[in-house]
Structure 1
């Protein structure tokens, strides 16, 4: 059977012929011999196309357990992709290849199509063999080129609940300007973290990573700034800052630490001064939380009598309610058997929001009750909710 040469009109639409791979931007179809020219088969064109799209068809999977191997990773991701409805290239397994670095516990998982790789990005945090794994773009990912090859974001209609995931709030958090913020104290709220990050400008996207079962912070987040030119400034200014007993790690998510350009140095200096001022606010006792702890306000003897205790409780509810909506008032009492009881002598006021607690702290600190000068400080919410009143 003779091979038929393609006419010019057909060549122009070569990337749209059913069953062939779409043409690559910047690569003309006639750069490679067509069927029948010099007897060269079509396969090299397909091979070159696969190579050119590989950066957009692969995902990085980090945090793998030691028991992981190529087959188990390929089977797992093919199964979960099918379960969430992420397969778009037809029947069969989505995964075509897996490379594992056992020493560093990561893998590159290659999908059949760019769209399937983008859908796989929604699997970040999925539990594999008992451990949550990170799903990221590889370091060679080229966002601008990938945008011409297919969707760069996961399909919003994926059934993530089928594999125990919930859709993240990290919309728009892909690409080279994505910032990793690690070393966050677990009791930091989203509002407090955003406030710190937005010292450098408004955010286009923000995602505080939380435990799926408890809803508690995992101590790290991702963000992207609206003004991309401040990214390196923010990273340089925030990286290494002490927050309580932790040290922040702030860098571009896809790169190591990068230095700001010379023309950014003045802005960086101003930013560092601003962060230094904010750091004073974010240190222990001054970090805004919804809970205010009052000391030097009641004595242990006053708390032993039930009627007196009830009077004190009512007084605290009335006084504390002047500043905002009170959710709870806790006044630890001494143990009847005389054993030490945590928090005796303290009063804890929990408010519905930080605005109320901030007003209460300002209004009550330094006030005198019964001849005693009250000290009011913010108290970590996680300690309060755990019944830890010794802090």
Structure 2
């Protein structure tokens, strides 16, 4: 862990007594930390705390992102070498927001991803400082262009094939936007007739939505056609597992039926929901089973690693509020929900994406089971159901 490189007074003289007290700035450090940190993913193999700190401090000066005066913007770095990501803590909330504009910057030959950490709370952060980068940053000094992602966008460009001619561009776009806002979208058309050729391309504003959309839509039957959805730069399409197809099918079929009804007042052949597949009512809480073993929960180190891994995985699908993994009491007494993992999201959209992606995935040789969990029971800490 890189220690705080800025000297600060740990104490001040209290005129009302002989006991030292923390200055206001120091007392607020913990409260503002969630808004002063940024997540940096896709780090190069040889990156360490010192090189990360030096690089981002140098780049922040170059682009004019420092708001707290002279000195290094970075005060702390926590790096996970195995997962190739780090949390970089800035001096101020404004500097952290400015650092968000550095997404895609090349560090030691690698284009890194910059995101907000999972504990970032937008509503609380709004009162602490600017939530968006300054529009006056000189991003060209870091090899970046405002509003462009360069090679990174090409890597996240999605090919959508097998588009049925029944649906309009607006309806196809609506389907794609169920996984996140789009940066670009186009349906390729015949130059002479202006009719759709049955395929198109799109790019999401958040690259984390790319894999989710590919996994959920690839292989989906729409009428008499089957969608092919994969990264445009991939030589072979990403194939969904059978379990993921089954779990995602109900939600996708319902969406297709709704769109068909709105478009023409009639159902589309092949999209009817059979008696085997039923749709759950989405909630904001996802319950996972068969993803951890009881032995892992007794060890503090393993428990901490599992908790961090689930946070990292869960944030890929939406605004993750909390991760709860019930574990035994110190006296080895079992607790309700032992062996389960609960992911709490800010909305049902993120929770639904997580359910489609995590249900059926292999964890340590076991196939994960994902269900929507009643919010009232979750908030009461009733994990037994």
Q: How would you bin the TM-score normalised by the shorter chain? A: 0.3 to 0.5
Higher CA-based Rg: 1
- Of structures 1 and 2, the one scoring higher in RCO (CA 8 A, sep 6+) is 2
Instruction: Report the TM-score when normalising by structure 1.
Output: 0.43
Instruction: Report the TM-score when normalising by structure 2.
Output: 0.44
